[in-house]
């Protein structure tokens, strides 16, 4: 017999977003229930156990800010924490705030259907459990639907295939193995140097070369940690304005003399991290300015990689730096100087098929024992569209978003009342420190639910006009930058048939927060509030 669980709010996903949403709602007296496909908390950090996985926003910033005692008592060991440490942190949060008792694990949501008459959401799951609630929050993650490459013959490959975003919990023994890695985005770039130290041989199959900046990761010294913590409130307040505390320059690259400009690139290269791309204020809006930083990185690649042919293949030439998510590494380019690593440039020798235990290119058969796919995600919309979501009069989200996602503020979509997205398309989301974005969305949703309750409403829906204006605004913001120039997952370009729409909202998080706050202050302008 199928069982039904009722709560005021149902939350899908138990990553950083879902856990925080649950904790905050509980504090406000709403009953809430979380549904999670994995066997425990963690989201991205539960699934991405590949060698080398770590964050590239400094750990002291890539963490929750909602509890001062938590941020003071938790000690990070490295500047950029590795996956096991981040997962331990999330598990600690779940235990400390006793969150697991309201989470149903090992359960995937298949459908979410709005009942117009009762004004409630009904979620069906693969375990047969049914969840009913007034409000539904999709905390399903922007990067949670791994995508395997559609290579001819992949189903016939005799060895195991592992996606970085679904890495086995028990790990993979790579010792003595010939490993193929396909994909050279952030995941591949983190994994390849570590795999190369473990495996007998690594063949890296690269379709598009990427810009990569050194992380200069290392232990987080006690002194630095104590100093940061003594000022945590100030740091967090600034992060609410800028996302991550980088050194943002107010100078133009093109207006700066060449020697000074190169010195600034060199200084930031030596410092490491994503801070590099904020060296000048015109890099992301002016192609000529961007060429100067792109040339600098290509020059570095040629200095590091000894074989000039390999170096040439590793130099990105088809997109301006930063228009694909910038990658941060530890020894990526150096890895190609190792005897046990070969680069297979798929632009020169495309894959014909996978056959037996080989990746066969137009040049030769590369024999491997196992294949690692660091081939990315159906980003931003993948996880929500995997669920059969039906709003007013049975309208499906798939139909509504057939030409690309349409939201108001990234938080709601018209005709789907009481359904909220955390870090959804149309919000800054993946363009900023995501924990800052998550905490903002959780706070905004909590305020909205409290407002509804206080005013005697129980139904909230984005209006068509507000949504149309917002979508237009998001498109305009992207088109003022170089970002739409790359074939990136920001645009859905990595998924065949996905509409080419720039999904995140290109804006300083501080400005976006103000826009959201103003709308709330005006009684949730652009939203229809009602009593069912």
> What is the rounded distance in angstroms from the CA atom of residue 53 to the CA atom of residue 164?
9
Residue 479 CB, nearest distance to ligand N01 (Å)?
A: 21
Q: Which listed option, ligand FAD, ligand N01, none, makes contact with residue 325 (CB within 5 to 8 Å by class)?
A: ligand N01
Q: Which listed option, ligand N01, ligand FAD, none, makes contact with residue 144 (CB within 5 to 8 Å by class)?
A: ligand FAD
Residue 274 CB, nearest distance to ligand FAD (Å)?
A: 9
44 or 412, CB closer to ligand N01?
44
344 or 506, CB closer to ligand FAD?
506
Nearby residues of 230 by Cβ (< 8 Å), 6 or more positions away: none
Q: Which listed option, ligand N01, ligand FAD, none, makes contact with residue 427 (CB within 5 to 8 Å by class)?
A: none
Q: Which listed option, ligand FAD, ligand N01, none, makes contact with residue 184 (CB within 5 to 8 Å by class)?
A: ligand N01
- Site residues (CB under 6 A) for ligand FAD? 12-18, 35-38, 43-44, 46, 48, 53, 55-57, 62, 108-109, 139-144, 187, 383, 386-387, 422-423, 433-434, 438
CB 121 within 8 A of CB 532: no
Residue 486 CB, nearest distance to ligand N01 (Å)?
A: 9
Residue 24 CB, nearest distance to ligand FAD (Å)?
A: 14
Q: Which two tokens stand for residue 377?
A: 């995600």
Q: Which two tokens stand for residue 466?
A: 């507000």
Q: Which listed option, ligand N01, ligand FAD, none, makes contact with residue 374 (CB within 5 to 8 Å by class)?
A: ligand N01
Pairing of strands 358-361, 351-355: antiparallel
153 or 395, CB closer to ligand N01?
153
* Element of type H or E holding 96: helix 83-96
Please enumerate, as own/partner, the contacts of 386-390 that have beta carbons within 8 Å and a separation of 24 or more.
386/145, 387/12, 387/109, 387/110, 387/111, 387/112, 387/138, 387/140, 388/110, 388/111, 388/112, 388/113, 389/111, 389/112, 389/113, 389/416, 389/419, 390/111, 390/112, 390/113, 390/114
Residue 34 CB, nearest distance to ligand FAD (Å)?
A: 9
301 or 430, CB closer to ligand N01?
430
16-53 burial code (b ≥16 CB/10 A, e <16) = bbbbbbbbbbbeeebebbbbbbbebbbbbbbbbbbbbb
* Element of type H or E holding 288: helix 287-304
Query: What percentage of the chain's residues is helix, strand, coil (to nearest 5)?
Result: 35, 20, 45
297 or 389, CB closer to ligand N01?
297
CB 83 within 8 A of CB 48: yes
389 or 438, CB closer to ligand N01?
438
Beta partners for residue 112, in sequence order: 123, 389
Q: Which listed option, ligand FAD, ligand N01, none, makes contact with residue 199 (CB within 5 to 8 Å by class)?
A: none
Q: Which listed option, ligand FAD, ligand N01, none, makes contact with residue 62 (CB within 5 to 8 Å by class)?
A: ligand FAD
Q: Which listed option, ligand N01, ligand FAD, none, makes contact with residue 141 (CB within 5 to 8 Å by class)?
A: ligand FAD
25 or 311, CB closer to ligand FAD?
25
253 or 387, CB closer to ligand FAD?
387
Residue 433 CB, nearest distance to ligand FAD (Å)?
A: 5
| Cα separation values, 1 from 127, 131, 163, Å | 11, 14, 36
Pairing of strands 419-421, 130-138: parallel
Pairing of strands 161-163, 370-373: parallel
> What is the rounded distance in angstroms from the CA atom of residue 131 to the CA atom of residue 137?
13
Beta partners for residue 104, in sequence order: 35
Q: Which two tokens stand for residue 78?
A: 């490295």
Residue 465 CB, nearest distance to ligand FAD (Å)?
A: 29
Residue 494 CB, nearest distance to ligand FAD (Å)?
A: 14
Angle between helices 287-304 and 258-271 (to 10 degrees): 60
Residue 40 CB, nearest distance to ligand N01 (Å)?
A: 20
Residue 86 CB, nearest distance to ligand FAD (Å)?
A: 8
Q: Which listed option, ligand FAD, ligand N01, none, makes contact with residue 18 (CB within 5 to 8 Å by class)?
A: ligand FAD
Q: Which two tokens stand for residue 336?
A: 């190609």
Q: Which listed option, ligand N01, ligand FAD, none, makes contact with residue 434 (CB within 5 to 8 Å by class)?
A: ligand FAD
- Site residues (CB under 6 A) for ligand N01? 55-56, 143, 149, 151, 164, 182-188, 190, 207-208, 325, 328, 346, 374-377, 430, 489, 494
Residue 45 CB, nearest distance to ligand FAD (Å)?
A: 6
279 or 384, CB closer to ligand FAD?
384
123 or 354, CB closer to ligand FAD?
123
Q: Which listed option, ligand N01, ligand FAD, none, makes contact with residue 275 (CB within 5 to 8 Å by class)?
A: none
In angstroms and rounded to an integer, the radius of gyration of the C-alpha atoms of the chain is 23
């Amino acid at each position: 017999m199928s069982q039904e669980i009722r709560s005021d709010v149902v939350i899908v996903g138990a990553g950083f977003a879902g856990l925080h949403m649950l904790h905050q709602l509980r504090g406000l007296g709403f009953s809430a229930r979380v549904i999670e496909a994995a066997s425990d908390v963690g989201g991205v950090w539960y699934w991405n156990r590949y060698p080398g996985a770590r964050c590239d926003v400094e750990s002291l910033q890539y963490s929750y800010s909602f509890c001062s005692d938590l941020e003071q008592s938790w000690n990070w060991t490295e500047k950029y924490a590795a996956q096991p440490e981040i997962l331990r942190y999330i598990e600690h949060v779940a235990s400390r705030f006793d969150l697991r008792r309201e989470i149903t694990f090992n359960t995937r949501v298949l459908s979410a259907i709005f009942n117009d008459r009762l004004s409630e959401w009904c979620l069906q799951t693969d375990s047969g459990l049914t969840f009913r609630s007034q409000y539904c929050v999709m905390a399903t993650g922007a990067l949670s639907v791994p995508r395997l490459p559609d290579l001819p013959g992949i189903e016939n490959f005799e060895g195991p295939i592992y996606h970085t975003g679904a890495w086995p919990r028990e790990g993979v023994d790579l010792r003595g193995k010939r490993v193929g890695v396909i994909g050279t985005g952030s995941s591949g770039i983190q994994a390849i140097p570590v795999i190369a130290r473990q495996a007998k041989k690594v063949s890296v199959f690269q379709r598009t070369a990427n810009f990569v900046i050194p992380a200069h990761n290392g232990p987080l010294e006690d002194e630095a940690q104590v100093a940061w913590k003594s000022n945590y409130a100030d740091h967090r307040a600034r992060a609410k304005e800028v996302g991550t505390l980088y050194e943002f320059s107010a100078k133009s690259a093109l207006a700066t003399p060449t020697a000074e400009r190169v010195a600034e690139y060199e200084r930031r290269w030596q410092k490491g991290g994503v801070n590099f791309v904020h060296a000048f204020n015109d890099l992301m809006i002016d192609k000529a300015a961007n060429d100067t930083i792109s040339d600098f990185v290509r020059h570095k690649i040629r200095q590091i990689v000894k074989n000039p042919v390999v170096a040439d293949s590793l130099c990105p030439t088809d997109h301006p730096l930063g228009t694909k998510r910038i990658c941060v590494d530890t020894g990526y380019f150096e890895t190609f100087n190792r005897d046990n690593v070969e680069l297979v440039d798929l632009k020169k020798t495309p894959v014909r098929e996978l056959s037996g235990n080989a990746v066969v290119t137009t040049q030769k058969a590369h024999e491997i024992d196992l294949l690692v796919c660091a081939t990315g995600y159906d980003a931003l919309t993948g996880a929500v569209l995997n669920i059969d979501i039906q709003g007013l009069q049975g309208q499906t989200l798939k139909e509504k978003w057939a030409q690309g996602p349409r939201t108001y503020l990234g938080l709601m979509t018209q005709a789907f009342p009481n359904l909220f997205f955390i870090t959804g398309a149309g919000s800054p989301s993946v363009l900023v420190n995501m924990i800052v974005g998550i905490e903002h969305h959780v706070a905004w949703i909590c305020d909205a639910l409290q407002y509804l309750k206080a005013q005697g409403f129980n139904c909230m829906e984005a209006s068509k006009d507000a949504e149309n204006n917002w979508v237009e605004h998001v498109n305009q913001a992207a088109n003022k930058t170089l970002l739409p120039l790359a074939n990136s997952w920001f645009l859905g370009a990595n998924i065949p048939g996905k509409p080419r729409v720039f999904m995140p909202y290109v804006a300083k998080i501080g400005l976006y927060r103000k826009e959201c706050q103003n709308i709330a202050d005006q009684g949730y302008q652009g939203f229809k509030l009602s009593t069912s």
